[in-house]
Amino acid sequence: MNRIMDSNIMTSPDLARFENQQFMNLETFRKNGEGVKTPVWFVLDNNIIYVRSGKYSREGEALAQ
């Protein structure tokens, strides 16, 4: 499992909105700049959001770039 780190880390209050949820919309962008929202399964564990996606799915490939 890959873990993506960003300098814009969410704090516990920011993460509270994800508690007791199972899905979120992951937005990726086409080459023309158009946003495409895809529902993905996730789990929040110890203030880290883990997203489950297939390696060769559209969202998986977008995250790998």
Per-residue confidence (pLDDT) for residue 33, from 0 to 100: 93
Per-residue confidence (pLDDT) for residue 7, from 0 to 100: 45
Per-residue confidence (pLDDT) for residue 16, from 0 to 100: 83
Q: How many domains does the chain have?
A: 1
- Tell me the per-residue pLDDT of 35-49, one tens digit each, with 9 for 90 and over: 988 888 888 888 888
Domain contains 28? yes
Domain contains 7? no
Long-range contacts at 28-35 (CB < 8 A, ≥ 24 apart): 28/58, 28/59, 28/62, 28/63
Domain contains 3? no
Domain contains 46? yes
Domain contains 60? yes
Domain contains 5? no
Percent helix, strand, coil in the chain, to 5, is 20, 35, 45
Per-residue confidence (pLDDT) for residue 63, from 0 to 100: 63
Per-residue confidence (pLDDT) for residue 48, from 0 to 100: 84
For residue 30, give its domain range: 12-64
Domain contains 6? no
Burial (Cβ within 10 Å: 0-12, 13-18, ≥19) of residue 16: exposed
